[in-house]
Structure formats: C-alpha cells, structure tokens
Structure 1
Amino acid sequence: MKKRLNAAAFTGAALAIACMPAASYAQSSVTLYGIIDAGITWVNNTGGSHVVKFDDGISYGNRWGIKGQEDLGGGLSAVFVLESGFHVGNGQLGFGGAEFGRQAYVGLQNSWGTVSLGNQLDMTGEMVGLYNVSAWASGYAIHQGDFDRFNIDRLPNSIKFLSNEFSGFKFGGMYSFGNVAGNFHQDSAWSVGAHYANGPFTIGTAYTQLNNPHGIYAFDPYAMIGTHTFLGRPTVSVDPATGAITDLFSSSAFPVDKQATFGIGASYLIGTVTLMGNYSYTQIKGLGTKSHMHVGEGGASWQVTPAFSAVGGYQYTSFEGHHWNQVSAGLHYLLSKRTDVYISGDWLKASSGVDAVIGYSFTPSTTTTQADVRIGMRHSF
C-alpha cells in the first residue's frame, strides 16, 4: 500500500512511514530524520468570528527522530525509534508535552517481523490510516473527532508484533497495558489488523479498542464534533441572555468506558490516478449507554506531473441522528525531493443543531458550516 500511494500522489508518504523498521538490514546504523511543516490558515467561523492564523504540523506532523538497528547475527537485529513531535510556531513539544510522544520503542526483528515495546502506532494507523484521502488533500480533514483513529494514533505502554510482508500480505497485533494497580482492564487497549497489496490494488483492515480512553485521547465532545449532547448528556451550557456557549468538558474529560472502532480501506491505481475509499464503524460506551458513528469516504489523487499533484476527497458521517458532509481538496508542488509547497481547503456542512468543526482542529463554528483555506510549506530531512 505505501509504495502504491506514494507512487500515485503522496510524494511525502515515504517520510511519514520512514520511522517504521525496514524488512531487513545489511549492517548496523543510526539515522536522524525529520519533517517541518508551517503555513497560514484562514477559517471563516471560529466561535462566531473568522480567523487568519499561523499554524504548523498540518500537511504532516512536525517531528524529529532517531532510528537505528544493530545486527545481532543469525538474522536477528535490535531496532529502536525515538520520535518527538513539536510546534514550529512556539517551539513547544506536542502530544501533551511528551518528549518522544510520536513514537518511542525498542524491539527485535527477524525474517518474520518485529516485536517491539513502547509508545507505538496502533494497527488502525498501520493498516488503514493512509486511506484517509481527504487528510492527504488538506491535513485538517481527519474524520469527525478522530473517533475512528484514522488520524494515525498511538498506544502507550504497548507490546506489538508487526509482520514482514509475505506475497503482498502483512498483519499485526498489539496490547497496551493500563498500568493501574489492581485493575488489569482499566486504561488498557488492544489492536489487530492486516493489509494486502497485489499490483494496482491494495486493501487494509483493523480493529482497535480503548478501555477508558484518557490523556491525549480523552473525550471533549463539543470541541471534537460540535454537538450539544453526547450519550444523552449535555456537553455545553448556553447563557440565555447572550447565547454564549461554555464547553462543559474542556477541562475535565467526558467519562467514556470504551471506544471500539473497525475500519477498512482500499485503493486502486489507474495510470497516474489512485482511487481510494474507506469505511469505519465506531462504538462509544459510557454512563450506561452507547452510540455508534459511521464514516464513509471516497476520493482520488492525481499525479499530474512528477512534481505536481492534486488530491480531493468527500466524507459522510452519521452519529446520534446528526449528519456531516465534508469536501476537501489540495494542490501540492515539489520544489525538490524534500521541499513541498501547497494550497488546500475544506468545507463542512453539519445537520441542524450541530456547530460545525473541521477535523477537531478549530473552535466550533456558531453555524452548521465551517470552511478553511491554507497555504503552506513542508521540508523533510
């Protein structure tokens, strides 16, 4: 999948997956790498006002990292990755201030695959996240609230097995320990997935479950999807005199017992055009009730020339009787193999009673629509 998507349009995809161990190593090595993305974004309505702002880590998350391996002999290697996320605008760390919040693991690799331990990508990210074609177009256009974890997320305190590719097929599974004394289940998570590639066709699927999602994956429903209720409970209070909205879970998370998501995605390469689609089903349980989110997405990328590509996508979401329709598009031009300039945009329309918010990225709109336009630059090293 990764080679196919990169060849069709995703000129930087190899960098996004470079942090993953390779299939084999000729010798021991240590590599320093990174990505820096920055630009200017206009949003038509954030809390009732438009905004023009500097924003970074959008087309690709900003990062610097060190990866390496040591040949132990007999076809066995030791591998490691330390990868930090940060903000160019202020120099601060991302991921809640974690120094290596993007990835941090150590493991052993042989001809079958890699067993690793640490803070690592889940199988939704490994097997289906790259089919989120709208996000390749704009970066902001992740699925609503990232409930289905297509934004390529991590699981901490985890042990993971990721196979090598055999005749186009690979698979993996992992378990994340909650580390709660006396309760093995609380704060734990697990994930399984598989992927297959055959010529121009690729397909991937994964299931990921979080028990008591917390930390950077805790729920703030209004900020995430703009609804005024969630699992039958209010998410905001509204001043009757001014209409001002107060987010009830901006400082303390909404109590969710389980977040379970199944996703599947596929692509097909036709000349210089890659067609892509995906579907996800997510169940959220808490406070004695449960709800389901469905997301369907389709789009394409067109490698117009070796340097110029166009990407577009449409996604439809339904949750608790609400509906979202979103279109996204982006144009990317390579100044070199490592430097890309781009322009992108999104338009979101939500159903009545929902304050539209694109990709959990801005303050929710005061209407059922929200739109953005961005001009940016990305450099890799």
Structure 2
Amino acid sequence: MDEGVVVGKAKHSSTTAELKSGFTAMSRFGIKGVEDLGNGYTVGFTLEQGFLADSGSEHTKGLAFSRESLLRVTGPFGTVAFGRMGALGFAQSTAILRGWAFGTSWGGSAWSVGNVHFGRLNNAVNYVTPSFNGLTVHATYSNGTATDDNKWSDNAHYYGLGAKYTANNIDASIMFEAKDNKGLTLEDQKQKALYHITAGGTYNINGFKPGVIYQYATQSDYYHQHAFGVGMTGPLAGRPNAQY
C-alpha cells in the first residue's frame, strides 16, 4: 500500500489537505500460482490489481486485474505468456526496461520521452528464450492493445523485440517497440505509427548500481525526440535500494 497526505497552498487560495493514494507506486494486491507438470515444464498465472487506498476503488474502472492478468507456460523452449501485460519498455513481469533508477514511476521523473510509453497491453503474447550465459531474447505482440474484436486492420497492434543481459554485475537491455495505432484517431485524424528504440543498463559496485539509459521516439507529423538519463540506486540511511 502506498498512501499519504498532500497539503497545498497557492497564492490567493485556501489551504487544502488531501489523502492521496499512490505517490511512488500504485497500491496493489496480487495472486500467483504455479504447477509443476514434470519433465522441466510448469504452468503458472499472475493476477495483480491496482486500487486506491484512500477509497478502496479500482485504479482502472471496470478492470478486475488492471495491472497484470496472464497465464504462462515454461519449459526447455523458454517461456510463453498470454493475457494482459506490460510492454517491454514499461513495467510488470514481462518488461525488460533497465538503466533508469525510477523505473516508470516517480511522477514527472518517469522514464520515457515526455512520459510517453506503451503502457499495459490487452490481448498480448510474450515469449522469452532460455538464458544463454545471462542473455535472453524477448518478444511481445498485442493483437489489439485495447480490444481485438474488430477486423485485424481496425485493431491497434503492439510489436516489441528486445534482449536482456544479466551477468557479471551487469543488468542491461536494448529493445525496439512499435504501435501501429490502426483504427485509433486523435482529434478526428488517424494516428500515425509510433516507434521507440531504448537501451540502458546498470553496473553493480558493492551494492551501488550506477545506470545510464537512452531512448529515441518518433511518430510521423508529431515528434522525433531523443532522451538520455543517468541515475543510481544503492544503500542510504538503512534503505537498501534508495534512488538518486
């Protein structure tokens, strides 16, 4: 649970006091399960719901498990997951974003160009290869980021392909992501396809993890932007993962 009190005072206005849920991370609860099928195969599930601690209401109205809702099968071939999940460059168990101390949270300090990211995806499939000395390849496809009950050309699709390396004190990733925005409009105009290239990583030095991240995002007729960040996590005043 993440909740606090916000007190505000603007010039020529009254002081306000507000209970607020979700400062650095959304309040949530989750359920996980796994069944061993034998011969190196398992099947498992993850259900995670965000909620507002000050009112008890759903974080996303109408979604019973708004953060993640998926089934996964793991074997010698790797892992395949189906359901609602985060994009590769966002959050949740299928994401591989590395290099930014604040992840995708912390308000305006969220990592992505202008706080633009692909977020969570409905109707998605994710595949992860077995680890090759710390290197894994990740691919995610969404058949319709909101719904997929229209014909294929009217659904907005997400495509993500990336690699993650975690070994020898290095935790890094590189990924390409795209959303074709088919069927979506913005101010009565068809949205253009959106593309991201993101690379980042950290190096562990006795518990301190300096990191660096770079992203290029482009959407025709809207923007072409570069972003770059440096940060660090490490022990500070008894906190094992303080962020800088």
1:271 aligned to 196, 199, 206, which one? Answer: 206
Task: Give how far 1:93 is off.
Answer: 0.8
Name the SS of the counterpart of 1:95 in structure 2: coil
Q: After TM superposition, what 4+ stretches of structure 1 lie above 6 angstroms from structure 2?
A: 48-51
Query: What does the per-residue CA deviation read over 1:28-52, in whole Å, with 9 as the maximum and x for residues that have no partner?
Result: xxxxxxxx1111345787xx99865
Shift of 1:209: 1.4
Q: Percent identity?
A: 21
Deviation at 1:264, TM superposition (A): 0.7
CA 1:274–1:261 in 2, change beyond 3 Å: closer, same or farther? same
1:142 aligns with 2:74: no
Partner of 1:302: 234
Distance, in Å, in 1 between the alignment partners of 2:76 and 2:30 is 25
Equivalent position of 2:168 in the other structure? 199
* Deviation at residue 99 of structure 1 after TM alignment: 0.9
State the number of aligned residues. Answer: 234
Residue 138 of structure 1 deviates from its aligned partner by 4.1
What is the rounded CA distance, in whole Å, between the counterparts of 1:85 and 1:66 in structure 2?
12
Question: Which structure 2 residues correspond to residues 77-156 of structure 1 after superposition, within 5 A?
Answer: 77-125=42-90, 126-128=95-97, 130-134=98-102, 138=106, 140-143=108-111, 145-149=114-118, 153-156=119-122
Correspondences of 1:1-381 after superposition (within 5 Å)? 36-41=1-6, 53-125=18-90, 126-128=95-97, 130-134=98-102, 138=106, 140-143=108-111, 145-149=114-118, 153-178=119-144, 179-184=148-153, 186-212=155-181, 256-285=191-220, 289-304=221-236, 306-307=238-239, 310-312=242-244
Residue 137 and residue 175 in structure 1: after superposition, are their counterparts in 2 closer, same or farther (change >3 A)? closer
Distance 1:54 1:82 in 2: 27
| CA contact 1:162–1:172 (8 Å) conserved in 2 | yes
What TM-score, normalized to structure 1? 0.54
In structure 2, the gaps of 5 or more residues are none
Equivalent pair of 1:173/1:191 in contact (CA under 8 Å)? yes
CA distance in 2, matches of 1:49, 1:296: 39
SS of residue matched to 2:125: strand
| Aligned-residue offset at 1:164 | 3.8
**1:273 is aligned with what amino acid?**
F
Q: Is the 8 A contact 1:202 1:267 kept in 2?
A: yes
Gaps of 5+ in 1: 1-35, 220-248, 313-381
> Secondary structure in 2 aligned to 1:124?
coil
Question: How large is the Cα RMSD of the aligned pairs?
Answer: 3.1
Higher helix share: 1
Question: For 1:184, what is the secondary structure of its paired residue?
Answer: helix
CA distance, structure 2, for counterparts of residue 291 and residue 182 of structure 1: 29
Distance 2:2 2:182 in 1: 29
Q: Cα 1:147–1:190, aligned 2, differ >3 Å: closer, same or farther? A: same
| Shift of residue 139, structure 1, vs aligned partner | 5.2
Deviation at 1:191, TM superposition (A): 1.1
Cα deviations by residue, 1:309-333 (Å, 9 ceiling, x for unpaired): 5422xxxxxxxxxxxxxxxxxxxxx
For residues 294 and 255 of structure 1, the distance between their equivalents in structure 2, rounded to whole angstroms, comes to 24
Q: Which amino acid aligns with 2:100?
A: N
Deviations 1:238-268 (A, max 9, x none): xxxxxxxxxxx7xxx9853322211111111
TM-fit CA distance, 1:302:
2.8
Q: Give the distance between the partners of 2:78 and 2:87, measured in 1 at CA.
A: 16
| Separation in 1, partners of 2:54, 2:191 | 33
Q: TM-score, normalised by structure 2?
A: 0.81
Kept in 2, the 8 Å contact 1:148–1:282? The answer is no
2:89 alignment partner, SS class: helix
